[in-house]
Structure 1
């Protein structure tokens, strides 16, 4: 009877739908059952107790533990849900059924894309940074301006440009056919490879600039001294040059990786349905589902992972050796 009175009170205040939606986030299918009960209570052709008994949802064993957990000021429900976990009837933690497991896969996808983009920017950025550091200052200044040129436009404009370039009859496909790399036009839009290509272009300066800032401080005479002492080029690079560049490499890779973890607009425009990153889900929960608790839980877990990564970086390299500019 108390529950029936509460449901009637929520209906009178116009908050019954919000209540049903909030409960549905914790217990799938609850929204329709709550609204069904409210409609039957409004009809008032039967006593409230009979109405509650007529809806099997209220007598199900899993209903009341979920309702009871929502009465606490602090709950672990959303954090567990963000890791595809839940409380079972015995008070323990278990994995959700495979058909309900979403977020662990999304987190793994986010880290995979971030790692792939970081590796791609390192492969492209390291030799380019070495080239800029090796040429005369005048030419180096021109090359630096060319690297910084994309910053003159917003990330939305750069992403929109890639939506044109990656079309099936776009410039990228034309170039691949002309070079003989592909025999037929590729579906690069709404694919993971297209997403990685676009993100690599956007993130390249963030990896390149920290590496270049370290390279320009290394005197060429050090490599010449290694050669004069009998070291082969690769040995001189590995034992003399690379250890000095390593802080810049780590800083650039860390910066790019962390920025990629929070990408939203590029996956939304270029990635397919199976290429959306965790930021897209957070935005959906904030703006569409209005489930701010779930958005906060996902954001918190992403922040914890990011801080853990930064802690590992600080332990390996040391913050005093950080070289960003």
Structure 2
């Protein structure tokens, strides 16, 4: 091979070698990505199981309502062609089919479930359905197929009303937003328009929960800021000793802490007994089972969540900034407000966010010490899940609470982001 041919093959060899190196490099990158993904996979599985799946299930249950459709499928099929906006009730053939299905439900002891479902949309119908079902138990099924409508009218005159059949048809929809309307204290009238309910229950609960959470956040900030400042400026020995007392609530059961507040705040508790012993009061205060009891106990429980972020930020602030401002002639309070306080905003905002999100969804403490006055929206959600078995409404209330928290977090992020830009 000539010298010219060797010189022409050299760039080709170098190019081939470079391609091999690039292929090997891409192979190494894919391997690193696979290893990184393998390490992240357990976390992704945990997030999927613990967060995404429950939230997705809650959102699905808030609009999926198959109970009535499973109980009276034939009646709902017959009602699908009926114009519920008119003034005439369904034909007798539809009522006959309902009478037969109601008898079957009575024999299976499921008529009470139907009455419970319809009663949520139209109070007072549960007794009508149950009493009619009891009367139909002993009747002949073939007779009901012919005289079902007449038997319904003879048992209760309520079956002649158009409204009960409108509710029956609307309650049989598999997917419905009625739970969200109820959660927002709204309803549909006879022509399908959305109107406000006479009693505003859930909106008031949301506002009260928001107010209580803001009060707790404010109180923890007022109490936690000076304590965090003292911990950040104190000696290591003193700070470590006091930090043990700050972390002590984490080592104590939540139920024990809440029960301790019951012992302190009850009528014959420690606080009232002490005040009466020093003749500060003549009659004991009603402190337990109030909104104030909820705020006080939850402030104590959530205080470490405010102190720890504040302390971590304050510990990293160089004290020379404050001394430099003082040496330039600034007075202590203005120097503290204009120099030191803005640098604590990240810790203060993080602590406030933690305390607010935890407190607005708290359940155990308000249930034990709050009573009727101090209960929050989380207690009503638990009631519908455990007592009334209205999972659709509970899911709708939980979804709206989640939406409220996300909206407030978005607002917080905007405000804190703007303030950080101005400080920078």
Is 1:209 the counterpart of 2:308? The answer is: yes
Normalising by structure 2, report the TM-score.
Answer: 0.71
Determine helix, strand or coil for the equivalent of 1:94. strand
CA distance 1:183–1:135, shift in 2 (3 Å): farther
Structure 2 CA distance for aligned equivalents of residues 283 and 304 of structure 1? 18
Contact 1:213 1:248 in 2 (8 A): yes
Residue 247 of structure 1 corresponds to which residue in structure 2?
346
Moved more, 62-71 or 189-198: 62-71
Structure 2 CA distance for aligned equivalents of residues 290 and 117 of structure 1? 31
Contact 1:40 1:51 in 2 (8 A): no
Normalising by structure 1, report the TM-score.
Answer: 0.92
Determine helix, strand or coil for the equivalent of 2:176. coil
Structure 2 CA distance for aligned equivalents of residues 228 and 210 of structure 1? 29
The residue correspondences of 1:51-66 to structure 2 (distance < 5 A) are 51-54=151-154, 55-66=156-167
* Aligned partner of 1:290 among 367, 389, 403: 389
The structural deviation recorded for 1:259 is 0.7
Structure 2: state its 5+ residue gaps: 1-95
Determine helix, strand or coil for the equivalent of 1:86. strand
Determine helix, strand or coil for the equivalent of 1:62. helix
Determine helix, strand or coil for the equivalent of 2:137. helix
The residue correspondences of 1:219-238 to structure 2 (distance < 5 A) are 219-238=318-337
Structure 2 CA distance for aligned equivalents of residues 257 and 82 of structure 1? 22
Moved more, 234-243 or 75-84: 234-243
Structure 1 CA distance for aligned equivalents of residues 394 and 102 of structure 2? 27
* Aligned partner of 1:116 among 188, 211, 215: 215
* Aligned partner of 1:48 among 137, 148, 155: 148
Residue 197 of structure 2 corresponds to which residue in structure 1?
96
Structure 1 CA distance for aligned equivalents of residues 124 and 105 of structure 2? 19
Which is higher, the Rg of structure 1 or of structure 2? 2
CA distance 1:75–1:120, shift in 2 (3 Å): same
* Aligned partner of 1:129 among 228, 231, 240: 228
CA distance 1:238–1:178, shift in 2 (3 Å): farther
Moved more, 303-312 or 185-194: 185-194
Structure 2 CA distance for aligned equivalents of residues 246 and 183 of structure 1? 45
Moved more, 245-254 or 56-65: 56-65
The residue correspondences of 1:1-325 to structure 2 (distance < 5 A) are 1-44=96-139, 47-54=147-154, 55-98=156-199, 101-176=200-275, 184-318=283-417
The structural deviation recorded for 1:182 is 5.2
Contact 1:41 1:48 in 2 (8 A): no
The structural deviation recorded for 1:181 is 6.6
CA distance 1:222–1:150, shift in 2 (3 Å): same
Determine helix, strand or coil for the equivalent of 1:73. coil
Q: Which portions of structure 1, spanning 4 or more consecutive aligned residues, are displaced by more than 6 angstroms?
A: 178-181
Structure 2 CA distance for aligned equivalents of residues 68 and 301 of structure 1? 26
CA distance 1:263–1:180, shift in 2 (3 Å): farther
The structural deviation recorded for 1:183 is 5.9
The structural deviation recorded for 1:132 is 0.6
CA RMSD, Structure 1 to Structure 2 (Å): 2.0
Structure 1: state its 5+ residue gaps: none
Structure 2 CA distance for aligned equivalents of residues 185 and 175 of structure 1? 10
Contact 1:264 1:279 in 2 (8 A): yes
Structure 1 CA distance for aligned equivalents of residues 400 and 186 of structure 2? 13
Contact 1:4 1:52 in 2 (8 A): yes
Moved more, 263-272 or 165-174: 165-174
The structural deviation recorded for 1:70 is 2.0
CA distance 1:182–1:115, shift in 2 (3 Å): farther
Structure 2 CA distance for aligned equivalents of residues 225 and 310 of structure 1? 36
Moved more, 273-282 or 5-14: 5-14
CA distance 1:105–1:7, shift in 2 (3 Å): same
